[in-house]
């Protein structure tokens, strides 16, 4: 950056942004750009900007889509005006879990920098009260008009209840990090380690291995004996997918005495979506699928690559 423009002063802060330091940092600057990848940090930065009276240029990207908005600028809404309550942690996908195309972040980042420069130059922002949506697959931009500032907003409303920064990890029920998250949606009895699964695989125990990753990920790498049915198909109760699962279960049951439940082990990339799939499988009618016991494999295929097969691709 100094080579590009030596007249600009760059001040790096090494460490995560925390409630105890955020307001002090934000007050030193005229404009804040949020490039974070997790919900707690978005609430933290937005609240700090409202309390400090600073505009916030917020950009985000996931997979092939990007969003850009300017909050708390010239009477416009803040982040909490749009999202008063955080979403359930298990419904949030970040870039580490869902992936993102680098070119998308570059496009959103350039547009974000443009809005910062416009505000700094006194030209104003065309995105105050609007959200810009970018669809890289279709190559389209569109602007969505946002709701105006809410008079009853907890932080920027007429009688705010949030007057100081709080514990945003507790508020959101998730960690302020963009690293891969390990969800705990199932009891320990419904989960097995990759080592335990490898042992039963070596012992040739009859079972079904169900891979619930998206099709694009399954094309990158997969265990050859796995049946691939994306989680979305299970959630939608796709008839053709359920028939494929039912057929595989029946085939494996021919290898058993048909007296004990057939284990169905579910795997994904990190062991998060597999837990959601297990919950769905546990609700399937026994008269159609017979007696089965569904369990997920902790850590998913990335744990398999780390602990069992070092030649298995990591992505």
Return the closest-CA partner of residue 60 out of 46, 74, 77, 73: 46
The enclosing H or E element of 49 equals: helix 39-52
Contact predicate 212/230, CB 8 Å: yes
Q: Which residue's structure tokens are 């130059």?
A: 121
Give the active site residue among 35, 95, 175, 221: 95
Catalytic residue among 153, 156, 172, 268: 268
- 305: part of which helix (H) or strand (E)? helix 300-307
Residue 95 falls in the annotated catalytic set:
yes
CA distance 190 to 56: 44
- 8 Å CB contact between 105 and 66: yes
- How far, in Å, CA of 125 to CA of 116, rounded? 8
d(CA 300, CA 311): 15
The residues near 253 (Cβ < 8 Å, ≥ 6 apart) are 206, 262, 290
CA distances from 129 to 37, 70, 78, 132, 152 (A): 22, 7, 9, 10, 17
Bridge partners of 142? 133
82, 63, 245, 60: which is closest to 154 by C-alpha?
A: 82
Give the 3-state DSSP-derived string for 199-251, with helices as H, strands as E and coil as C.
HHHHCCCCCEEEECCCHHHHHHCCCCCCEECCHHHHHCCCHHHHHHHHHHHHH
Between the CA of residue 36 and those of 52, 58, 179, what are the distances in Å? Answer: 19, 9, 11
Return the structure tokens found at 299: 């850590």
Question: Which are the catalytic amino acids?
Answer: 95, 268
């Amino acid at each position: 950056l100094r080579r590009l423009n030596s007249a600009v002063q760059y001040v790096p802060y090494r460490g995560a942004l925390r409630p105890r330091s955020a307001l002090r940092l934000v007050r030193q600057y005229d404009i804040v750009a949020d490039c974070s990848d997790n919900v707690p940090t978005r609430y933290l930065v937005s609240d700090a900007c409202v309390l400090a009276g600073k505009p916030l240029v917020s950009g985000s990207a996931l997979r092939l889509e990007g969003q850009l908005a300017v909050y708390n600028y010239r009477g416009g809404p803040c982040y909490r005006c749009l999202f008063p309550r955080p979403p359930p942690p298990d419904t949030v996908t970040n870039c580490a879990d869902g992936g993102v195309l680098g070119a998308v972040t570059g496009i959103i980042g350039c547009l974000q920098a443009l809005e910062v420069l416009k505000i700094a130059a006194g030209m104003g922002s065309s995105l105050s009260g609007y959200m810009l949506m970018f669809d890289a697959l279709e190559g389209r931009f569109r602007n969505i008009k946002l709701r105006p500032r809410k008079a009853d907003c907890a932080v920027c409303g007429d009688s705010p209840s949030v007057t100081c920064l709080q514990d945003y990890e507790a508020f959101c029920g998730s960690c302020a990090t963009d690293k891969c998250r390990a969800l705990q949606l199932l009891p320990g009895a419904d989960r097995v380690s990759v080592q335990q699964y490898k042992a039963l695989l070596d012992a040739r125990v009859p079972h079904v291995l169900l891979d619930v990753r998206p099709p694009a990920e399954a094309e990158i790498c997969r265990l050859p004996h796995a049946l691939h049915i994306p989680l979305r198909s299970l959630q939608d109760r796709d008839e053709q997918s359920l028939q494929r699962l039912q057929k595989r279960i029946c085939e494996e049951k021919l290898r058993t005495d048909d007296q004990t439940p057939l284990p169905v082990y579910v795997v994904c990339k990190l062991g998060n979506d597999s837990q959601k799939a297990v919950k769905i499988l546990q609700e399937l009618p026994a008269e159609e699928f017979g007696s089965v016991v569904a369990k997920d494999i902790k850590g998913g295929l990335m744990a398999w690559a780390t602990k069992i097969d070092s030649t298995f691709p990591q992505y």
